[in-house]
Each structure stands twice: as structure tokens, then as C-alpha cells.
Amino acid sequence: MKQTMMRMLLHFRSILLGVLTILVLIQAQDQSGFISIDCGLPQHLSYIHESTYINYISDTKFIDTGVSKRIQFKDDIQQQLEYVRSFPSGVRNCYRINVTSGIQYLIRVSFYYGNYDNLNETPQFDLHFGPNVWDTVTFSSNDLGFAFKEIIYTPSQDYIQPCLVNTGKGIPFISAIELRTLNNNTYTTHSAKSVLSLSGRFHMVSKSIENLQYRYKDDVFDRIWYSQLYNKNVARLNTTLHSDDLHQNDFEPPAIVMSSALTPVNASDPLELYWNADNGNDQYYLYMHFNEVENLAPNETRAFNIRVSDTFWHGPVIPIYRKVKTIYSTTPLTGGTRYPISLFKIENSTLPPIVNAIEIYKVKDFSQPETKQDDVDTITNIKNAYGMARNWNGDPCGPVKYMWEGLNCSIDGNNIQRITSLNLSSSGLTGQIAPSISKLTMLQYLDLSNNSLKGSLPDFLMQLRSLKVLNVGKNKLTGLVPSGLLERSKTGSLSLSVDDNPELCTTESCKKKNIVVPLVTLFSTLIVILLISLGFWIYRRQKATWSKSKKKDSMKSKHQTFSYTEILNITDNLKTIIGEGGFGKVYIGILQDQTQVAVKFLSKSSKQGYKEFQSEAQLLTIVHHRSLVSLVGYCDEGEVKALIYEYMANGNLLQHLFDGNTNILKWNERLKIAVDAAHGLEYLHDGCKPPIMHRDLKPANILLDENMHAKIADFGLSRAFGNDIDSHISTRPAGTPGYIDPKYQRTGNTNKKNDIYSFGIILFELITGRKAVARASDEYIHILQWVIPIVEGGDIQNVVDPKLEGEFNINSAWKAVEIAMSCTSSNEVERPDISQILAELKECLSLEMVQRNNVSTRARDELVSIATISETTILAR
């Protein structure tokens, strides 16, 4: 009998547990439109929240960066806050969450520090939403490291991208992301670009219970209602109210929230409320929810008007028993840092005013357009096709400061960002050219050079009708170049570069180049062998003679030795001074063949000495490059020391930027100068063996010829080092204040990255039209002190030289600023090599030239010259 009873009890218990489980599951499944993500939760885990019964899942399928961490402080925290996802790597890390476009969502992100990193120090970081800045996440001293942000947003794409941005004030992290669908006709704004950011959502607490919160399932939208106490001159009206008792409207505030109301103690007094704004320029939307909680007698009435900031806002308001009425602003409220709300009864009302709940939203400007979804999907497919490890996430085109590496974008006529430039040069690409590229229909610039791409140059590239520049050089492509591309190249509508693809042909005749008659081949081979043998014999006989005369003849033909008398004749007795620097005065001269030259004397009072004179003379006899000033000869006669250079008709860059020159350098001219100078520096750093560090790069040492072609000059402080290890040795600090790498100035340890810093300062001078060090209000301000805050604020218009009057490509300008910022990074390891800088500057110039015109024949020739220039390397010994 006992056994039978026991079996029955166990059976009943199992049935009861099963029923309870089913009830919980049913309750948990009643969440249509809910997306609840526990950030950092291990991939295999999910759960039903212990109090709300909301189903939470891991974030691993929404992001592929960051690391999972578990918090240490766990007292009285919500279950979804126990894990965090931390982002120690990368500046911007973004989630991508699929949604339904055109549907209004409540989007809430939560952060609970909980000392997950054992540092006991909360960070500060920025929160972005696609291309727009959402907010800054901070933690006050009394919130135990908890913060949340909430917006009401209607996506135009079928995904959203919340992003965490490292601003250098600690590692970003996130605890939870929650999305809830709303009724589309509820929370509206006057502009589609305006987003509602929660400033406060309060219910008038009943029974004096503090810190009481309501959310799902009390609130069908899972809005969180916080208690708000007003203990001065107010009373609370309470009733028992169930959901079925309340006639709802579209806002559907919870019945438990609408069951209590606030009213003044003195029936004749107004009900006074207020909220404080963050600053006087903020705009707000106010929502007030009313429900009559008392069943009024026939002789009782309750009617009142509402003032906001001492201005009539709405009235009369007549709450109805057990029926929700919501009053809200249809245009944003403005007016200082404090917003008083006054509810006062009208003359014939017998009862004072009441209010049950209030919502306050601050307006956020999300006016930065998103990138067209087709372009986003296409560039993502390209990334996947080539298996690139780049941290490409978030919106590709915005914010502009965080535009994806290798891209440039423009806004089309529909105010949508489109990808117009794709630079995948030197990206380690293999396989064939991805067909996805043809879907970037607005592409104007495509650079796939210096990779290992194989196969033919595909016909689908002809579908890119906007394409102005195509560079596929230095690959392993084969076959014929499509005739359509060749035709566009001939007409000037396309700058085409296909060099260094040995098996890629531009004419039909190349099909026959491998078809040869065996007999002819044999005969040709014999002739080649005989010629080689003959040449080798002649070489052996002449080698000794060549060796004896080579050095003397070379020096005589390339670098002449001049006497002082010859110098006086050349310069017409030192008649015309064309410049003066730390080395000494510079005179114009004319050689016997009527070639103009510049003669630079070493002054006895010069800060630079004979050692620098020797250094420059020796260096320029062995390095030769089209972007370095050429040495014609020198004079070393007693106390007279002089160097004779090619004459640079347009002086130096300093004169054009700062010396009151009325001929303002255009944006494309500035970029061309930067590209030329980068070519010269690349030769010194990478083309010379051992590499050479200039150590005194500045605008005064960048000279311009009659065609405004820039060349680097003044090598008196340059040093050659055997290898990159040797280049990190201590030397006497050299250079010009404002351009010297601060770390080099402190330690004296020099390397290539010191020149990169100086080059970055020059770039900023070209961009801004400001000197490296400028005097302002009795103090000297370095250009980085001025420019960095403006750049971080995203204000490119106030960065670029106002003398240009807005005549520049904004994408090209942002790209140039990004290059300059990377060059001047305080961490020299993060500074790019000059070869990378040169490639990116070429892209800037190409974008500017494409926008200015449809690539005229002359512009096309310049682009081809820039893209395909072959540098001659002469080793420096």
C-alpha cells in the first residue's frame, strides 16, 4: 500500500513539474518581436530569465570580435549582467543584428562593470549606432558600475549595428542588448533623422515604496518604469487595477503603473514637477499618461491645464476612470537647462490635477546617412571571398573617422552613402577577381595591384560604368584585356594600369607569341649563345680598363668640382640671392651650357658645419631619384664650401604655404606635392641599401620645379644605417622644432619612424594651411594641439585650409587627415611605413582628380604615371 501511494505521489509530482515547465515555456514564448542578447554568454548557453521569463541567447552569432568575461561583483544583479563582452583590440567593434526594416523598436544596451578585469576602475567609451554617434558611456561613483542607454528607432535597413568605440579611456565592454518592437504610431518625431533617447521614465509610486521597478510582463513592450517620489506637498492616490480593468491606448502603459497617481496635498495648489536638461541646446519630447484612479461622484469633476516652462502646453485634461489618456508634444521642447511642469485645475473643477506616469526623451540627431545595404552586403562578400582578416565591421562609410580601411564613399542623390573607391592593393589576395565587385555600381576607383590574383581580367568589370581608375598591376593575370576596357582607356574615360602581369595581353597578336617554328627557335638559340660568348669575351678584355676609369669618368660627368673663381663666374659675382637657411646663403647661377643652378654656400656663422657639408655632398653623389634634388657639383677650396644643385624655379613649399603667396595651392596640387615627397622618402627608406634617414623634413626642404614637381632637399643631417636594428641607435638630436619626433627628441634614438612623424606634420600643414608651431595669445601652439580635438569632433570643414574656400573632395580630405594622424601617432610602432603612406596618398589624389573632371587626357596620363612609376634604385654605400 505504501509503495502504491509513493508511486502515485511521485507520478503526481512529475505531472506537476511538467505542467509548471509548460506554463513557464508558454510564458517565455509570449515574446513576439523580442530579441534578448546576453553579451559574453558562452556560445552553447541560453536561458529563460528567472523573474521576467524572457529568453536570452548568446551574442556569438552577432559579432566575431571581443572576449567573454565573467563579473566578480554579483550581489543583487540581473541574470543578464553576469557576463560581459570586452573589446581589448580594435578601435571600433560592432554587432550586426537582423531586424525588420520600417518597424519601430525600443533598443536598450546595458553595461555592468562588476570588476570583470580586476582593475577596480570603470572605463569611459563611446557608443555608435551604425554611422551615427549615439552617446558616451560613463559610470558615476554611486552606480556600482552600471549604466544603460535606450533609444526608440525605426531602422531603414534589415539590420542594426551598435558599435563600441575605444576613446583611450579604458577598454569598452557590454553586458546586454535588448530589442522590443513597438506600435509604429506611438513615439513619433518631427524628423526621420531625429531619434528618441530615453532621459527618464517614471511612475508615481504607490504605498511609498522606493526603488520599485516594473517591466515585462507588466509592460508588454518591456519598458522599464522607475519609481519617482515627490515628498513635498504631494499625495498619492492608489487603487487596485488589473490589466482587464483598464481601457488601453496604443502606448499601453502597464496597469500596475496606472493604478497610482500623484496629486497636490492642497487641492487648490498646482502640481509642480520638473526635469533638468544636460545643456541648453538639447531638445526633448514629453509624454504624460493619465488615468482616473477614483470613481468620481456625480458632483465631482477633475479638469486641469498643463504648462511647460511657463508656457501653456495642453488643456483642459479630463482623466477618465480606468481609461488611459496620453498627452505628448508633437514638436520638440527647448528652453534652457530646467523644464518646470505645472498642472493646475481649471476654475469649475472640484478636484486637483493628477498624473500617473511620465516619459521624457532627448532628441538625438542621426542624420549621418547609412551605406546602401547592397554595397554593405557586397563588400562583406568580398571580404569573405578573399578571407581577409581586416576588422571591417560597422557601417563601411561612417562615421567618416572610422571609414573602413581601403574605402572611400560619397552621398548619392537619395542621401545614401555609396562606396566609390576600393583599394585592396598589397592585401595578399589570391584566386580570381571576385564577381561581387561588379555589384559596387558606383565604384570610381579600384586598385587590386600587387597581389597574387590569377585568371583572366573579367568582362564584368565593364559593367562598372562609373569606374575612372583601374589598377591590376603586379598580379598573375592571364589572357586578353577586355576590349571594352581598352576602348575606354583610349578615349580617356578610364585610367587603366595592367603592368607586371607577364601573361596578360592588350592585343590579339599576343596570342601568337608562344607559337614558333622549332627550326627557327633552334637557330635563334645558337645565335644568342654566340652573342653571349662574344660579349663575355669582350667584357673580360675591357674590364680592367673600365675599372680604372669608371669612378673618375662618372664623377666628372655627373658631379663636377668647381673652383671659387668658377663659382663667382657662374653666379655673376654672387649677384642674386634666392634663399637663405641654416646652412648659408643660396645664389642663382648659370653654367656654360646655360643651365640654371642654385649655389649654396656654407656660411662661417652657420649652425651647420663642415661635417654636414661633407655629409650632403657625399650622399648626393650616390643617391639619385626624380623626387630628390640633384647635385650638379661642389666647391671645397680652403674656407669656401659650396654645393651646386639643379635650380628649382618655384622655390620651396614653405614660401607657397605661409609667406603671403597670393597663388593659393589647390587641393590637388597639395596632394601631388605630398605624393612627390613620399616618393623621395620611400626611395631613401626602402630604395637605398643601407636605408637613409633624412632627419630634417620640413616645408623649407621640399623644393618645387617649374612644373610644381616636388623634390626633397637638404641632406646635411641625414644618416645611413646598416639595417633597421642599427637605425635604433643614439645620435645627436637633429632637426627643426615642431617637426622633430618627441620620442627622438627625448632619447636620441633614431629610426625611420622619426621621418614619418615629420612627414605627418608636413601633411597637416598642407591640409590646414597652419604652421607646425604658431603663436597665439602669447604662447606657442603646436599644430597637433590644435588639429586633434577638431578631428575627433568630426569637423573636417574647420580642419582644411580656409583659403581653399571649400574646393576639395571631402572624402579625399578625410583620408589625408587619417594618414597624417597615423603618421604622428604617439606610439611609433603604429606609424605606417612610407610605402603604405604613398599608396594611400595616391588614392587621395586619384579621388580628387576624378571628382574635379572626368579624367581628361592630361589627368589620365598623370594618374597612370603615378600608378605605374618604376623607381630606379641605386645602392648607397
Check which CATH number belongs to the domain holding 275 and give it.
Answer: 2.60.120
- Measured CA to CA, the distance from residue 104 to residue 182 in angstroms comes to 5
Question: Mean per-residue pLDDT for 853-857?
Answer: 44
Q: How does residue 529 score in pLDDT terms, banded at 50, 70 and 90? A: low
Q: For the chain, what is the total number of helices (H) and then of strands (E)?
A: 15, 48
> Do 482 and 412 sit in the same domain of this protein?
yes
- What is the structure's pLDDT at 717? 57
Q: What is the pLDDT of residue 446?
A: 94
Task: Please give the helix or strand (H or E) that residue 202 lies within, else none.
Answer: strand 194-204
Residue 688 lies in a domain: yes
Higher pLDDT among residues 708 and 611, named by residue: 708
Q: Give yes or no for a contact between 843 and 815, defined as CB atoms under 8 angstroms apart.
A: yes
Higher pLDDT pick, 472 / 8: 472
Domain of residue 104, CATH code:
2.60.120.430
If asked whether residues 111 and 143 sit together in one domain, one would say: yes
In-domain check, residue 581: yes
Q: How far apart are CA 453 and CA 449, in angstroms?
A: 9
In a domain, 523, yes or no: no
Residues 488 and 429 in one domain: yes
User: Is 711 found in the same domain as 825?
Assistant: yes
pLDDT greater than 50 at residue 57 = yes
Enclosing H/E stretch for 668: helix 667-682
Does 768 lie in the same domain as 673?
yes
CATH number at residue 751: 1.10.510.10
For the cut 50, the answer to whether the pLDDT of residue 45 exceeds it is yes
Q: What is the mean pLDDT of the chain?
A: 83
Statement to judge: residues 702 and 849 lie in one domain: yes
Q: How far apart are CA 692 and CA 712, in angstroms?
A: 13
What is the model's pLDDT at position 822? 93
For residue 530, tell me if it sits in a domain: no
Of 159, 182, 205, which residue is a domain's last? 182
3 state DSSP class of 105: strand
pTM here is 0.62
**Domain of 466: which CATH number?**
3.80.10.10
Instruction: Report whether pLDDT(556) > 70.
Output: no
Residue 843: pLDDT band by 50, 70, 90 thresholds? confident
pLDDT-derived band at 128, boundaries 50, 70, 90: very high
Q: Does residue 166 register a pLDDT over 60?
A: yes
How many CA atoms within 13 Å lie on the side-chain side of 409?
A: 27
Cell numbers that stand for 190 in this block: 518631427
pLDDT per residue as tens digits for the range 757-795: 999 999 999 999 999 998 877 788 999 999 998 888 778
Q: Residue 25: is its pLDDT beyond 70? A: no
Q: Identify the weakest region by mean pLDDT among 26-35, 604-613, 721-730.
A: 721-730
pLDDT at residue 28 above 50? no
| pLDDT score recorded for residue 746 | 78
Q: What is the largest CA-CA distance in the chain?
A: 133
| pLDDT beyond 70 at 348 | yes
In this predicted model, what pLDDT tens digit does every residue of 61-80 receive, in sequence order?
999 899 999 998 776 788 99
Residues 277 and 359 reside in one and the same domain: yes
Write the CB contacts of 107 (distance below 8 Å, at least 6 apart in sequence): 150, 151, 152, 153, 160, 162, 177, 178, 179
Which of 614, 629, 646 is the last residue in one of the domains? 646
Q: What is the arithmetic mean of pLDDT over 122-141?
A: 93
Q: Does residue 854 belong to any structural domain of this protein?
A: yes
74 annotated ligand-binding residue: no
pLDDT interval class at 691 (50, 70, 90): confident
Residue 445 near residue 843, CB atoms below 8 Å: yes
Query: Is the domain of 642 the same as that of 702?
Result: no
592-617 b/e (C-beta count within 10 Å ≥ 16 → b): eeeeebbbbbbeeebebeeebbebbb
Question: Would you place residue 325 in the very low, low, confident or very high pLDDT band (cuts 50, 70, 90)?
Answer: very high
pLDDT digits (tens, 9 = 90+) for 474-518: 999 999 999 999 999 888 888 899 989 999 988 755 654 443 334
Domain termination site, one of 365, 393, 422: 365
Whether 797 and 685 map to the same domain: the answer is yes
Identify whether residues 329 and 241 lie together within a single domain: yes
At residue 451, the pLDDT reads 93
Higher-confidence residue of 871 and 239: namely 239
Which range marks the domain in which residue 424 is found? 373-512
- Confidence band (pLDDT; 50, 70, 90) for 854? very low
User: Residue type for 219, please?
Assistant: D
Instruction: Rank 299-303, 549-553, 558-562 by mean pLDDT and report only the highest.
Output: 299-303
With 0-12 CB in 10 A as exposed, 13-18 as middle and 19+ as buried, what is 452? Answer: exposed
- Residue 391 is predicted with a pLDDT of 74
The predicted pLDDT at position 294 comes to 95
pLDDT for the residue 514: 43
| CB within 8 Å of 134: residues ≥ 6 apart | 126, 127, 128, 149, 151, 162, 197, 364
Q: Which carries the bigger pLDDT value, residue 462 or residue 727? A: 462
Of 745 and 778, the one with more pLDDT: 745
List residues with catalytic annotation: 696
Higher pLDDT, 179 or 583: 179
Task: State CA 33 to chain mean position distance.
Answer: 33
Number of domains in the chain: 5
Instruction: Give the other-Cβ count within 10 Å of 242's Cβ.
Output: 9
> Which CATH number fits the domain that encloses residue 634?
3.30.200.20
528 within a domain of the structure (yes/no): no
Q: Are residues 666 and 714 in the same domain?
A: yes
Q: Determine the pLDDT at residue 525.
A: 52
Q: What is the mean pLDDT of residues 164-184?
A: 95
Inform me whether the pLDDT recorded for 201 exceeds 80. Answer: yes
Do 397 and 314 lie in a common domain?
no
pLDDT for the residue numbered 145: 85
Q: Which among 749, 820, 759, 750 is positioned nearest to 784, based on CA atoms?
A: 820
pLDDT greater than 60 at residue 3: no
Domain annotation covers residue 7: no
Work out the percent of the chain whose per-residue pLDDT is above 90.
52
